[in-house]
Amino acid sequence: MAAITATAPAVRTRITSLFGCKYPILLPGMSWISSPTLVAAVSNAGGVGILATGPLTADETRKAIRTIRSKTDQPFGIGATLLMPGSKENVEVAIAEQVPIVNISLGKGNWIADRVHEYNGKILATVTNSKHAQSAIDSGADALMLTGHEAAAHGGDVTSLVLTPSIARRYPDVPIVAAGGYADGRGLAAAIALGADAVAMGSRFAITRESPLAQQMKEIVSNPNSTESDTLYGKNFDGIPARVLKNEEATRLMKNPASLPVVVYRALVAARKMRIPLYKVIPGLLTQWEKMYIIAQFGAATESLMKATVDGNYKDGVQFIGQSQGLIEDIPTVHELVQRVMHEAMDATSRCSATFLEADGLPASHSAM
């Protein structure tokens, strides 16, 4: 593709107005990837970066937020998976630091919304279906992030093509960020056409120069031989349906659910590695079994994920990646990527307009006949 020289103009959507950013493009929170450097790079490029706090202690979250602020004065957010141990402490830190956007998932956020709204912060709730969308709106969400089936990690079972227009029709007053399968400007234009106000790109931003993802994984995903079909989706990896890169290890782990003793053992190992005190894990394992079983499976998956994402170990590790890997063929800087996506989206929109204008009179294809 020819080098882009002109800077894409700012765009106004309900999401850019709500968050105060230039372009309708978000970096979602991705453990070990959405780091202060990548978050700041996306926010400085005109989008919104969301810090992943899953692997961070409260002190590390505070430090990360301050590092982001030292690198950018643009809006940014933090992500919190409310089901996970330590997430509430991380949200407390974000509130104390008055982080502009708090992105919550897998849990009720009423108390968070009230306190974030006190300093005029915004709540972005990640959901995968209408039922959860309703509950997030009832809990005070200002906007929804809809994660379609194509997504890396925990997309739902409905594809973005249906999920976005369905929720947009049901909740016409709620700004929407579409996630799952978006990696270029055609996707952004399509998301807007479907009723979204922005896209979040996980897999795509993971394969940029500023991303801390292991170089080996970046090269595997961006290799043109990797296609949209080279992912696996299933429940057996970490207990919640998840999409990962297809390799031998992921195929083995996806075959059968891990046995109980194995899950508990691996969860405790992961908790130690992530410096989550065992007193926070063990009582739950004994009293809130169902919830803790999911958390334990999450924890058990941590080691495999870190092997791939942090160490670049393709053989023994498991890498979250979306179907959009079939659209990823290079490792650009964040700035180059954001500009390219915006220009492609403008081109795609012009192409659509031209197509439908032609339909009004004599289509070009007909006049050429």
Ligand X SMILES: Cc1cc2nc3c(=O)[nH]c(=O)nc-3n(C[C@H](O)[C@H](O)[C@H](O)COP(=O)(O)O)c2cc1C
List of residues contacting ligand X (CB under 6 A): 28-31, 33, 52, 54, 81, 105, 147, 150-153, 179-182, 200-204, 206, 309, 320-322, 324
Q: In angstroms, what is the minimal distance from the CB of 98 to ligand X?
A: 22
Whats the size of the chain, residue-wise? Answer: 369
- Residue 187 or 361: the one with the smaller Cβ distance to ligand X is 187
By three-state DSSP, how is residue 46 classified? coil
Residue 217's identity, in one-letter code, is M
Residue with Cβ nearer ligand X (40 or 80): 80
Supply the minimum distance, in Å, between the C-beta of residue 108 and ligand X.
16
Could you tell me the smallest distance in angstroms from the CB atom of residue 281 to ligand X? 18
> CA 309 → CA 113, 214, 221, distances in Å?
32, 6, 12
Q: Which residue, 95 or 207, has its beta carbon nearer to ligand X? A: 207
Provide the minimum distance between the beta carbon of 318 and ligand X in the complex, in angstroms, as a whole number: 10
* Beta strand residue intervals within the chain, DSSP E: 25-27, 48-52, 76-81, 101-105, 122-127, 143-147, 176-179, 198-200, 231-234, 242-245
CB 108 within 8 A of CB 88: no
d(CA 166, CA 36): 34
Tell the smallest beta-carbon distance from residue 149 to ligand X (Å). 10
Closer of 75 and 317 to ligand X (Cβ): 317
CB-nearer residue toward ligand X: 312 or 358: 312
CB-based closest residue to ligand X: 202
First to last CA, the chain: 30
Whole-angstrom distance, CA of residue 216 vs CA of residue 190: 31
Phi-psi group of 334: left, alpha or beta (phi > 0 → left; psi -120 to 50 → alpha; rest → beta): alpha
Q: How far is the CB of 261 from ligand X (least distance, A)?
A: 26
Give 150 or 210: the residue with its C-beta nearer to ligand X. Answer: 150
By the 8 A CB rule, do 152 and 243 touch?
yes
